[in-house]
Amino acid sequence: MFEKRYRLNLVFNANKVYDRQVIEGIGEYLQAAQCDWDVYFEDDFRHRLDGLNHWKGDGIIADFDNPEVEALLRNTDIPTVAVGGSYHHKNDYPRLPYVATDNAALVKCAYEHLKRKGLPQFAFYGVPSTDYSRWASEREHAFIEQVGSDGFEPHVHQGLFTTAELWETAQHDLETWLQGLPKPIGIVAVTDSRARHLLQACDHLNIMVPEQVAIVGIDNENMARYLNRTALSSVEQGCKQMGYEAAKMLHRMLLGYPVEDSLVVVDPIGVEERQSSDYRALRDPYVIQAMHFIRHNACRGVKVAQVVDYIGISRTNLETRFIDEIGCSMHEQLHMTKFYRACELITSTNLPFDEIARTCGYPSVQYMYTVSRKNLGMTPGEYRVSSRLGKDA
């Protein structure tokens, strides 16, 4: 016999990357299980709570990080699976089948990544505590606990909520906090959005990233990762896996299997490392400045002479210091910085190769092909295909 055609309501704000990826995971389960379900969510991707009480469907998957949604659905008679963040107190979980992102593990991923870089101090940039930011409070608690247990002082700042009207005030507040932090320091930002605020504030204050402040966000949001001059390192959550598990759990409920009070906590995928956390424990202040200049200007086609002019000491002196600290010449570092940037754009975008060549400061696309064959043993096109096959495997 064919399975009943169920009607499913997705109660998410799909304008957020987290919610979109959860919904994508739900879709992957529906395809894998060949579920012939009718799925409903709002045309503009935002849930409407005023109509939820009148929903007459068969099942619901909902974002319980939203306290209004939780309050409305906690006693519903419709089979419901809740999705949200993990809690360090078990009593804080809803009394419904629940799929959670592991907030403590997300923070640990970011913190351990920065710690492996050799950074001596750590900070956390969160958001103000409200009923709508319980997930952020959990991440802040995890950071304080993890850093404190390692014997470090946890520097924490919640900052202000940012709106168009309060943007300048919020950024001034953030800049004041950044100026007072010891350096060098690694900062875990509660989201990619807050991490981008940090990058902008550091740029305004001429604080070198990552040489003085290394930053890791959480979400790995592809759409906005290049909005700042410095590409952002970020922890990728297992959101699609969360959606898949939630749909699987609801399917079992609809088929009559017992899943009451079930809890699934999904691990993060890991850190996607980019420039913002590419910290090296350098001692020589001239080399630190030279590395910062190279990171930000290599793709503009600068030469060693321009690095030397910026630092203001003799070329021989700077080259000797650079080789002692970095282990290669300034020319080699300029070359590799351009090459790594090209590789990142090849694998993470669909930009034409001639545009990537121009963006990375190569004199021609043919020259970039030559560099690619020499360093990778393949053309940019072959590298793009192989990298994406590897991710899909």
Say if 390 falls within a structural domain. Answer: no
pLDDT given for residue 41 in this prediction: 78
The single-letter DSSP state of residue 206 is: T
Say if 392 falls within a structural domain. Answer: no
- Check which CATH number belongs to the domain holding 96 and give it: 3.40.50.2300
Residue 1 reports pLDDT greater than 50: no
Tell me the average pLDDT across 299-324. Answer: 94
Same domain flag for 204 and 245: no
Q: Which stretches of 271-352 are DSSP H helices?
A: 285-297, 304-311, 315-326, 330-348
pLDDT given for residue 271 in this prediction: 96
Higher pLDDT, residue 282 or 121:
121
Say if 63 falls within a structural domain. Answer: yes
Tell me the average pLDDT across 179-198. Answer: 96
Q: What percentage of the chain exceeds 90 in pLDDT?
A: 72
Residue 165 reports pLDDT greater than 50: yes
What's the whole-number average pLDDT of the chain? 91
Strands (E), the chain: 7-11, 38-40, 59-63, 80-85, 98-101, 122-125, 154-157, 185-189, 213-218, 233-236, 263-266, 270-272
Same domain flag for 157 and 189: yes
Tell me the average pLDDT across 80-100. Answer: 94
Same domain flag for 72 and 163: no
Tell me the per-residue pLDDT of 286-303, one tens digit each, with 9 for 90 and over.
Answer: 998 999 899 889 999 899
Tell me the per-residue pLDDT of 104-129, one tens digit each, with 9 for 90 and over.
Answer: 999 999 999 999 999 999 999 999 99
pLDDT given for residue 53 in this prediction: 73
Give the pTM: 0.84
Tell me the average pLDDT across 76-85. Answer: 93
Same domain flag for 124 and 113: yes
Same domain flag for 57 and 82: yes
Same domain flag for 338 and 243: no
* Structural domain containing residue 75: 7-101+239-268
Same domain flag for 116 and 126: yes
Nearby residues of 250 by Cβ (< 8 Å), 6 or more positions away: 8, 59, 60, 61, 79, 80, 81, 97
Tell me the average pLDDT across 213-221. Answer: 94
Say if 1 falls within a structural domain. Answer: no
Q: Are 62 and 30 in contact (CB under 8 A)?
A: no
Q: How far apart are CA 303 and CA 322, in angstroms?
A: 15
- Check which CATH number belongs to the domain holding 311 and give it: 1.10.10.60
Structure tokens at 44: 């503009």
First to last CA, the chain: 35
Q: How many domains does the chain have?
A: 3
Say if 149 falls within a structural domain. Answer: yes
Per-residue pLDDT band for 18 (boundaries 50, 70, 90) equals confident
When mean pLDDT is compared over 42-51, 135-144, 202-211, 351-360, the highest value belongs to: 135-144
Say if 139 falls within a structural domain. Answer: yes
Tell me the average pLDDT across 134-138. Answer: 97
Q: Residue 189 belongs to what H/E stretch? A: strand 185-189
List the one residue out of 51, 66, 57 whose CA is nearest residue 14.
66
User: How many CA atoms are closer than 13 Å to the CA of 298, on its beta-carbon side?
Assistant: 20
Same domain flag for 199 and 348: no
Same domain flag for 11 and 66: yes
List the one residue out of 117, 61, 40 whose CA is nearest residue 271.
117
Same domain flag for 85 and 111: no
Say if 108 falls within a structural domain. Answer: yes
List the one residue out of 203, 230, 218 whose CA is nearest residue 124.
218
Among 277, 306, 333, where does a domain finish?
277
Say if 391 falls within a structural domain. Answer: no
Same domain flag for 254 and 228: no
Residue 260 reports pLDDT greater than 90: no
Tell me the average pLDDT across 2-6. Answer: 77
Residue 55: CB atoms within 10 A of its CB come to: 16
Residue 391 reports pLDDT greater than 70: no
Give the least confident one: 10-14, 209-213, 357-361.
10-14
CA dihedral for 197, 201, 204, 207, sign (positive or negative): negative
Residue 45 reports pLDDT greater than 60: no
Same domain flag for 229 and 179: yes
Q: Are 268 and 105 in contact (CB under 8 A)?
A: yes
